[in-house]
Structure 1
Amino acid sequence: MIKKEDISFILADDHPMLLKGLHDELTLHNYAIIGQATNGMQALELILKLKPTIAFLDIDMPLLTGFEVVRMAKDKGTSTKFIILSYHKEIDYITKAKALQLNGYLLKEDSFFEIERCIDAVLNGEIYFSSSFDSFAIENASDELKKLKLLTPSEITILKLIAQGNTNTELSETLGVSVRTVEKHRSNIVHKLEIEGGTNAVINWTLKHKDVIVNL
């Protein structure tokens, strides 16, 4: 079993009071805090430099969001485990967390008992979502990811390019296929993802799920 003194933490939140509160609670329970950050860029730098066991990240931070920090740190091959601590309970955020394969997702309203349960689970290789989450929301988030797995590599490429703001003509030129082929792919995407709405439905969907699409 890993001893508390062997577990190192980095904390990142742009709210000083919340950052201090988490720091004080962890310190009181004999956990080692080796770095703190008030923006995403600073958090990323500390994670890559200090290589903590676990990084607690807020989602809505200046410069880089918590999700962006996780993605960029993982791209660098970090072994740090990531726990998001946020107010967001929406399915979109749960889906993003699952797509990024986050180790834990807690709510800022959770007790320290819940935080410790999450830490223990993460250290044991488990994925932990706050017990405050509605199980229906977590299931729905999983369903969204299952739909994305139905897409072909070509459809995923087109989805990523749409998320970058490319038109059908630009997609056609980039991929070296006809506009008609692009339109066919878009139609398949709409069907598989069960996207409802008018002409801009796919664009709106990709913008809403951009953080998920990036990780496909």
Structure 2
Amino acid sequence: MPTSIIIADDHPLILKGLKDFLIEKEYNVIASAKNGKEAFTLIKAHQPEIAILDIQMPFLTGLQVAKKCKEENLGTKIIIITFEKSEEIYKEAKSLDVYGYILKEFAIEEVEHCIDNVLQKKSYFSPELIEYLEIKQIPKELEILTETELRVLQLTAKNKTAKEIADIIGCSPRTIEKHKSHIRSKLKLSSNANSIAIYAKEQEEFLSKYT
């Protein structure tokens, strides 16, 4: 079955252009809306796989629609399209579990690739936005580690020994070594004794929140 999509934009030409493109690419565009309130009503009624929303719309913004969808546990994945290159908006979008963030000037070029990523449950943010904001994204592999493993990695980056880490976390040095073994396995690091320390140092800026 074609991917079901609802689109919303208060600019008629942009809305028509996006709709025509998606239909041409054989997506199932269920409906389109000209404001945020209408968009949310349609999402709630049809619960499409994806909703592509302009960020600035009357009644409700794209992010306000995303917030309402999150509050009501709707499964629709949200893609935002905007001219805005704002770190504040970027961070808010991330906090609302928005899956895609496309700059309007690249919308037609990027939307298909963005949808493909979203269908695989991967987020997609315009490379131009990331480059503009100079955002360093957290390496994907860190997401597969447990909170304790991340803490061990973070303390390793600070040159703590297994015994020192064990004292801080409140367990035995042997347990810490087991955690390190799991980290090596998950991250596919070599069995070299220094491999974790080297990796931890390379990712220290991302691990700093686990202090």
Distance in 1 separating the partners of 2:111 and 2:79: 10
**Alpha-carbon shift at residue 118 of structure 1 (Å):** 0.5
Distance in 2 separating the partners of 1:15 and 1:111: 14
**Alpha-carbon shift at residue 141 of structure 1 (Å):** 9.2
- Please name the residue that 2:51 is paired with: 55
Equivalent residue for 2:121, pick from 99, 111, 125: 125
Unaligned segments of structure 1, at least 5 residues = 143-216
Cα distance per residue 1:78-97 (max 9 Å; x no partner) = 10000001110111111111
Distance in 1 separating the partners of 2:15 and 2:132: 30
Distance in 2 separating the partners of 1:105 and 1:66: 11
Say which one has the larger Rg. Answer: 2
Equivalent residue for 1:32, pick from 4, 17, 28: 28
Unaligned segments of structure 2, at least 5 residues = 139-211
Normalization by structure 2: what TM-score?
A: 0.62
- Please name the residue that 2:86 is paired with: 90
What is the total number of aligned residue pairs between the two structures? 138
The question of whether the paired residues in 2 share the 8 Å contact of 1:95 and 1:141 is answered with no
- Runs of at least 4 residues of structure 1 off by over 4 A? none
Distance in 2 separating the partners of 1:70 and 1:22: 20
Distance 1:38 1:72, change over 3 A: same
The root-mean-square deviation of aligned C-alpha atoms, in Å, is 1.7
Distance in 1 separating the partners of 2:54 and 2:107: 16
- Please name the residue that 2:187 is paired with: none
Cα distance per residue 1:122-178 (max 9 Å; x no partner) = 111111101221436262798xxxxxxxxxxxxxxxxxxxxxxxxxxxxxxxxxxxx
The question of whether the paired residues in 2 share the 8 Å contact of 1:92 and 1:141 is answered with no
Normalization by structure 1: what TM-score?
A: 0.60
> Where do residues 7-18 of structure 1 align in structure 2 (5 Å cutoff)?
7-18=3-14
Distance in 2 separating the partners of 1:94 and 1:44: 21
The answer on 1:109 being equivalent to 2:110 is no
The question of whether the paired residues in 2 share the 8 Å contact of 1:8 and 1:33 is answered with yes
Give the residue type in structure 2 aligned to 1:104: G
Equivalent residue for 1:80, pick from 76, 99, 119: 76
